[in-house]
Amino acid sequence: MEHNIPENQIAVEMRDIVLHFPGVVANDHVNFTLKRGEIHALLGENGAGKSTLMNILAGLYKPDSGMILINGEPVSFNSPRDAIAKGIGMVHQHFMLVSTLTVTENVLLGLNEPRFLMNLPEYDRKVAEIAESFGMKVDPTAKIWQLSVGEQQRVEILKALYRGAQILILDEPTAVLAPQEIQDLMKTMRLMVSEGKSIVFITHKLNEVMQVADRVTVLRKGKVTADGISVQDVTKEKLAELMVGRKVLFQLNKKPHTPGKVVLELQHVSALNNRGLPALKDVSLQVREGEILGIAGIAGNGQSELAEVITGLRACEGQVLINGKNVANQSPKTAIKQGTAHIPEDRTGVGTAPNLAITSNLIMKTYDSPPISENWHISYSAAQEFAANLKQQYEIQAPSVNTQVNKLSGGNLQKVILAREISSEPRLIIAVQPTRGLDVGAIEAIQNLLLEQREHNAAILLISEELDELLELSDRIAVIFEGELVGEFNTEEADLNTIGLMMTGALRSQV
């Protein structure tokens, strides 16, 4: 702990904060100090209590006990309004914008001024001025629905700045951004602290902490494991250990492997999304045995639809060939019969039945074949045995195979899905965001499982928003933008900058 910070330099001090949620202690006697003019990273895994702590500071939750001092003065917030009045602004993971209004209108929403007559051009100018002074490119007259996710985030930051925020809380701001946008955001953050503002930067990505933060506080299971240590004094490995509670090896076991014959082939596939708009446009690709094809792209550019078309969950035009057999517009069963495993993006909404036991979830794709069932009868003793084996083999942490899966952590839930999908010895694996939101330890285990399947000659289509993951696992990377494949590379030749530009639609390769 650093006690040598002069009083007048402290913007926020949170002392001994405790907050209980049903069944868990979200914040367990947490101390947190934010200096004026610094970027302070708040690091921790999902569910470590980072967002909770900052929601307390932003006036959304009231702590059970503890004290908050802003500029040395004790405060008690009853609503976000109180926090805003004290100069605290928070940009949430989920934006709170009215999509049919303009940028300026959104910035002004809820303010007392302008009172009656709206002189919008004047306010447009003011908003543009603030944006420019922090190096943010935004058109104040644009409607929100016309903006990209990155631009919408800038509007949220503008909202906070316009309200006079001196203390800015950014909750996982980089999760939705392309690499270039992340760089832009970091420049803006630097500019803001040089103007004397203070920033809390919530993240679970170690590289970003090392790159942009001055100090870092680490939370694990609601407790502080590193209290405002300087980033210069710490290594990435040490931070990972503080975050996870054990040593983490940043090493994957990827061996050279020669791909075999084509397993999956898409020929000129187009499909609509749930709103009836084009989601995939003339997509053609191939995945071979023992090969991982990575699909890079910002969320919502057709990735989910691509996976659904292949696994028979969505209708499409064009041909989807698995082992040479056209499975387009067939039932999910057809794809499963061809040896397709699907690790879906939505683990609780699609991948599992939350209120059923681990056993019932593990037999979802094998319940209709021996040894679990013969004819119409299901043998639950055979199912239990099958489940117990997988539980041990895939190290699923749970009291028993009868535990409901909604009681499992995200990592263990994903292991249930992987155990089910991989144990069928698939020829083709469609993995969508397989490590999203998981802790470092689980990510490592799951990535190694995918690599293992590659060695077993499975063809793997890996859809991910994490470029690092794609670069580490894939043999080839294709970039998707607005439902089109706009470029493809061998991973060794892939250039992060080029891929980033393609993800935002600024560049496409000539095919």
Partner 1 sequence: MSLPIHLQVEKRLDEPPRWLPVATSVGAIVLAFLISGVILLLIGGDPVKTFQYFYNAAFGSWGALSDVIVKATPLLLIGLGCGIAFRMKLWNIGAEGQFYIGAFCASLVPLVPLMNMETTPRAVVLLVMVLFGMIGGALYGFIPGFLKAKFNVSEIISTLMLNYVAVYWNNYWIYSTFSDAGFQMTPMFPKSAWLPRLADLTQQNRAFSGITLHLGVVFGLVAAVILTHVINHSRWGYEITLIGDNPKAAEYAGIDIKRNIILVFMLSGALAGLAGMSEVSGVVHRLQERISTNYGFSGVIVAWLAKLNPLATILVSFLFGALIVAGREIQPSGLYFLIQGTILFLVISSDVLLRYRIRFVRTSSEAA
Residues at the contact surface with partner 1, assessed by CB under 8 A: 22-23, 64-65, 76, 311, 313, 331-333, 336, 342, 344, 346, 349-356, 360, 363-365, 367-368, 373, 376-378, 380, 403-404, 407
Task: Using the minimum distance from each CB to partner 1, give the nearer residue, 311 or 412.
Answer: 311
Picking from 279, 277, 258, 257, the residue whose alpha carbon sits closest to that of residue 269 is 279
CB-count burial class (<10 Å; 0-12, 13-18, 19+) for 117: exposed
Task: Using the minimum distance from each CB to partner 1, give the nearer residue, 250 or 367.
Answer: 367
Cα distances (Å, whole numbers) of residue 469 to 51, 426, 448: 24, 22, 11
At closest approach, how far in Å is the CB of 67 from partner 1?
A: 8
Task: Using the minimum distance from each CB to partner 1, give the nearer residue, 201 or 386.
Answer: 386
E-assigned strand segments in 122-222: 167-171, 198-203, 215-220
At closest approach, how far in Å is the CB of 254 from partner 1?
A: 29
At closest approach, how far in Å is the CB of 334 from partner 1?
A: 8
At closest approach, how far in Å is the CB of 331 from partner 1?
A: 7
Task: Using the minimum distance from each CB to partner 1, give the nearer residue, 404 or 498.
Answer: 404
Q: Output the six-digit token pair for 8.
A: 């007048």
User: What dihedral do alpha carbons 181, 186, 190, 193 form, nearest 10°?
Assistant: 100
Query: Quick count: other Cβ atoms within 10 Å of Cβ 460?
Result: 27
At closest approach, how far in Å is the CB of 258 from partner 1?
A: 32
At closest approach, how far in Å is the CB of 318 from partner 1?
A: 22
Task: Using the minimum distance from each CB to partner 1, give the nearer residue, 204 or 342.
Answer: 342
Which residues are paired to 10 by β-bridges?
35
φ/ψ (deg, to 5) at 447: -65, -40
Picking from 282, 210, 246, the residue whose alpha carbon sits closest to that of residue 43 is 210
Task: Using the minimum distance from each CB to partner 1, give the nearer residue, 79 or 146.
Answer: 79
Task: Using the minimum distance from each CB to partner 1, give the nearer residue, 23 or 276.
Answer: 23
Task: Using the minimum distance from each CB to partner 1, give the nearer residue, 6 or 399.
Answer: 399
Beta strands 292-296 and 476-481: pairing type?
Answer: parallel
Task: Using the minimum distance from each CB to partner 1, give the nearer residue, 256 or 276.
Answer: 276
Query: Quick count: other Cβ atoms within 10 Å of Cβ 388?
Result: 15
Q: Output the six-digit token pair for 286.
A: 């191939």
Task: Using the minimum distance from each CB to partner 1, give the nearer residue, 330 or 504.
Answer: 330
Cα 11 from Cα 127, distance rounded (Å): 26
Q: Which helix (H) or strand (E) holds 18?
A: strand 10-21
At closest approach, how far in Å is the CB of 287 from partner 1?
A: 20
Picking from 81, 60, 84, the residue whose alpha carbon sits closest to that of residue 70 is 84
At closest approach, how far in Å is the CB of 383 from partner 1?
A: 9
At closest approach, how far in Å is the CB of 69 from partner 1?
A: 13
Beta carbons of 228 and 33 less than 8 angstroms apart: yes
Cα 192 from Cα 434, distance rounded (Å): 35
Beta carbons of 32 and 226 less than 8 angstroms apart: no
At closest approach, how far in Å is the CB of 192 from partner 1?
A: 31
Sign of torsion over alpha carbons 391, 392, 397, 400: positive
Cα distances (Å, whole numbers) of residue 463 to 23, 274, 291, 404, 460: 35, 19, 14, 28, 10
Task: Using the minimum distance from each CB to partner 1, give the nearer residue, 160 or 430.
Answer: 430
At closest approach, how far in Å is the CB of 424 from partner 1?
A: 12
